[in-house]
Amino acid sequence: MSQLAPRIHLASRSPRRRELLTQIGVAFDTLIFRDGTRADKETDETPLKNEDPLAYVQRVARAKAEHGWRCVGWRRLLAQPVLSADTTLEFEGEVIGKPLNAADAAHILGRLSGRTHRVLTAVAICLDTRIETALSISEVRFATLSDADIRRYVDSGEPMDKAGAYGIQGRAGIFVEHLAGSYTGVMGLPLHETAVLLRRFGYPL
């Protein structure tokens, strides 16, 4: 009798994370949390008062993985590792999440123009009572952006669902003068750190 191929649960709606896992040959089932007015409070991404950005991103990733594991039990799904991730941008010690609206996106991009910021992505895997995390830290320097650059990019709609109001894999790639760290980490799932965690949980890579 043949064994089932190894799989994981991915606790993320991000198409970029799905693409990156597929890129390295990881088989997964997407675990969807509720959103909107019925959103699970366990996955609230609101920073705590005076919370350090590094602590914030790791706390959120861990909370998503732990809640994902609870959902596996409630929904009677196959008991396989739950992988989650969270990405945020740190600028001048402040957590910069997803923009609230187009005006907020333009404001964020204006702040990043010609400056260096850090992109923090935490990855967490939970299986039963075991949970482990990994952290990717990258530095990104933007070119100086004109008002027209920012307006065109915001009008494209691309910034609206992304931490820091930009996606390095999309049109904003032309804004990046320098990157030190993990390109896939800036995209939302650092592949090296993810592979290390998966191997610790016995996933063959």
Residues labelled catalytic: 86
Tokens of 115: 């400056």
Q: Using the 8-state DSSP alphabet, how is residue 7 labeled?
A: -
Residue with tokens 């896939």: 184
The candidate with the shortest Cα–Cα distance to 84, out of 121, 47, 118, is 121
Residue 168 contacts residue 140 (beta carbons within 8 Å): yes
Write out the DSSP string of 99-139.
-SSHHHHHHHHHHHTT-EEEEEEEEEEEETTEEEEEEEEEE
Residue with tokens 């409070």: 41
Instruction: Give every CB contact of residue 44 below 8 A, 6+ residues apart in sequence.
Output: none
